[in-house]
Amino acid sequence: MCVGIVADVTSGNTGAPNRGRQIIVAEDDEDIRLFVSIILAKEGYRIESFDNATSALEAAATAEPDLYLLDVRMPGVTGIDLCRRLRADPRFEHSPILMMSAETSQQNIEAAMAAGADDYLPKPFSRAELLDRVKALLEAR
């Protein structure tokens, strides 16, 4: 299990409205996990990051995050499996879930959406794309 809590990484944070909003990131690729976590933390989000879906699910039970950002393909329990499990639990059935993957086939997108994802972010993505999707999902809830 890899847990990385990323807190205020900038002193002149422009994301004050996001302060206190928590996001769980489940991504097995360390570079992408760090990239996403730093971008979101700089905007004021509290981040808990995991390299596997099982650890993210365990953390969700006590953290009650505002949003989940899940990689579709992870060893063992996939992001799609995690999405299904979250949607099956009444505590998380309305939590925003943003799936991300380099797999951009219509079949993969449909599988993620059928599992209960709210949005699908194809890799590679820009900082602006990530922030726009996260903001839109949080505002919609």
Could you read off the pLDDT of 27-84 as tens digits, one per residue?
999 999 999 999 999 999 999 999 999 999 999 988 889 999 999 999 999 999 999 9
Determine, yes or no, domain membership for 59. Answer: yes
User: Distance (Å, rounded) from C-alpha 101 to C-alpha 27?
Assistant: 10
pLDDT > 70? residue 85: yes
pLDDT band at 16 (very low <50, low <70, confident <90, very high): low
Two structure tokens written together for 21: 């909003």
pLDDT of residue 17: 64
Q: What residue numbers bound the domain in which 45 lies?
A: 3-7+20-140
Spatial CB neighbours of 139, under 8 Å, sequence gap ≥ 6: none
Structural domain tally of the chain?
1
- CATH code, domain carrying 87: 3.40.50.2300
pLDDT of residue 71: 97
Q: Which residues of 66-89 are buried (b: 16+ CB within 10 A; e: fewer)?
A: bbbbbbbebeebbbbbbbbbbbee
pLDDT of residue 13: 47
